Chains A and B, each alone.
Chain A
Amino acid sequence: MTNQQTINIRGGRLMDPLTDRNGRMADIHIAAGQVHAVVDSGNDLPSADIELDATNCIVSPGLVDLHVHLREPGREESETIETGSRAAALGGFTAIVAMPNTEPAQDSRIVVEFVRSQGERAGLCEVVPAGCITLGRAGEALAPYDELRDAGVRLFTDDGNGVQDPLLMRRALEYARDLDVTLAQHCEVSRLTTGAVMHEGSCCGHLGLPGWPAIAEELMVHRDIELVRLTGGRIHFLHLSTQRSVEMVRVAKAQGLAITAEAAPHHFTLSDESLRSFDTVFKVNPPLRTALDIQALKDGLADGTIDAIATDHAPHASHLKEQPLDQAPPGMLGLETALALALSELTMDVYDVLAALSWKPAKIAGIDDRHGRPIAVGEPANITVFNPSLEWTVDRNSGASKSKNTPYHGRVVSGKVRHTVFNGHGVVIQGIAQL
Chain B
Amino acid sequence: MKHLRSIEELGVEGIVRILSLSEHMAQVNQRPVPKVPALIGRTVVSLFFEDSTRTRISFETAAKRLSADTMTFSVSTSSVNKGESLRDTVETVSAMGVAAFVVRHKTSGIPWQLSQWTDACIINAGDGWHQHPTQALLDTYTVMSTLGRTPSATCLAGLRIAIVGDVRHSRVARSNVQAFTALGAQVVLVAPRTLLPPGVEDWPVEISSSLDEVIGDVDVLYMLRMQRERMNESLVPHLGEYSQRFGLDERRATLLRDTALVMHPGPMNRGVEMVVDPATLPGNVITRQVANGVSVRMAVLFDVLGGSEATTGAQT
Contact residues of A between 4 and 38, Cβ < 8 Å to B: none
> Is B107's beta carbon under 8 Å from chain A?
yes
Is B128 a contact of A202 with CB atoms below 8 Å?
no
Is B174 a contact of A208 with CB atoms below 8 Å?
yes
- A202, A205, A209, A322: which contacts B85 (Cβ < 8 A)? A322
Contacts of A200 in B (CB 8 A): 198
Is B199 a contact of A278 with CB atoms below 8 Å?
no
> Is B104's beta carbon under 8 Å from chain A?
no
Is A208 a contact of B86 with CB atoms below 8 Å?
no
Nearest A residue to B105 by beta-carbon distance? A324
- Measured CA separation A426–B171 after assembly (Å): 56
> Is A63's beta carbon under 8 Å from chain B?
no
State how many angstroms separate the Cβ of B230 from the closest Cβ of chain A: 13
Give the secondary structure class of A's interface. Answer: loop
Contact residues of A between 308 and 349, Cβ < 8 Å to B: 319, 322-327
Is B130 a contact of A208 with CB atoms below 8 Å?
yes
Is B198 a contact of A204 with CB atoms below 8 Å?
yes
Nearest B residue to A324 by beta-carbon distance? B107
- Measured CA separation A397–B281 after assembly (Å): 62
> Is A206's beta carbon under 8 Å from chain B?
yes
Is B86 a contact of A323 with CB atoms below 8 Å?
yes
Given contacts A208-B131, A208-B171, contact A324 B199 (CB under 8 A): no
- Measured CA separation A138–B128 after assembly (Å): 31
Contact residues on B (Cβ < 8 Å of other chain), bracket: 20 to 34
Binds A, one of B13-21, B60-68, B109-117: B109-117
- Measured CA separation A209–B197 after assembly (Å): 10
- Measured CA separation A278–B131 after assembly (Å): 13
Contact residues of A between 29 and 78, Cβ < 8 Å to B: none
Contacts of A206 in B (CB 8 A): 174, 197, 199
Size of interface on A: residues with Cβ below 8 Å to B = 22
Contact residues of B between 93 and 142, Cβ < 8 Å to A: 105-110, 112-113, 127-131
In the complex, how many residue pairs between chain A and chain B have their CB atoms under 8 Å apart? 65
Contacts of B105 in A (CB 8 A): 324
Nearest A residue to B113 by beta-carbon distance? A278
- Measured CA separation A326–B108 after assembly (Å): 9
- Measured CA separation A216–B110 after assembly (Å): 27
Is B129 a contact of A209 with CB atoms below 8 Å?
yes
> Is B235's beta carbon under 8 Å from chain A?
no
Is B109 a contact of A323 with CB atoms below 8 Å?
no
Is A209 a contact of B108 with CB atoms below 8 Å?
yes
Contacts of A213 in B (CB 8 A): 198
Is B112 a contact of A278 with CB atoms below 8 Å?
yes
- B86, B109, B112: which contacts A209 (Cβ < 8 A)? B109
Contacts of A204 in B (CB 8 A): 197-199
State how many angstroms separate the Cβ of B235 from the closest Cβ of chain A: 13
State how many angstroms separate the Cβ of B163 from the closest Cβ of chain A: 15
Contacts of A201 in B (CB 8 A): 198-199
> Is A211's beta carbon under 8 Å from chain B?
yes
Most buried by A among B129, B130, B198: B198
Is A278 a contact of B200 with CB atoms below 8 Å?
no
> Is B229's beta carbon under 8 Å from chain A?
no
> Is B202's beta carbon under 8 Å from chain A?
yes
- Measured CA separation A326–B105 after assembly (Å): 11
Contacts of A207 in B (CB 8 A): 108-109, 130
- B109, B168, B198: which contacts A325 (Cβ < 8 A)? B109
> Is B87's beta carbon under 8 Å from chain A?
yes
Is B198 a contact of A211 with CB atoms below 8 Å?
yes
- Measured CA separation A319–B85 after assembly (Å): 8
Q: 1/0 contact trace for B254-298 toward A, CB 8 Å?
A: 000000000000000000000000000000000000000000000
Most buried by B among A202, A206, A209, A319: A206
Is B199 a contact of A202 with CB atoms below 8 Å?
yes
- Measured CA separation A326–B129 after assembly (Å): 12
A contact residues vs B (CB 8 Å cutoff):
200-209, 211, 213, 277-278, 280, 319, 322-327
B contact residues vs A (CB 8 Å cutoff):
85-87, 105-110, 112-113, 127-131, 168, 171, 174, 197-200, 202
Some 5 contacts from A to B, beta carbons below 8 A apart, are A205-B168, A205-B197, A205-B199, A208-B171, A325-B109
What 3 A-B pairs have minimum CB-CB distances, sorted nearest first? Answer: A202-B199, A278-B109, A208-B129
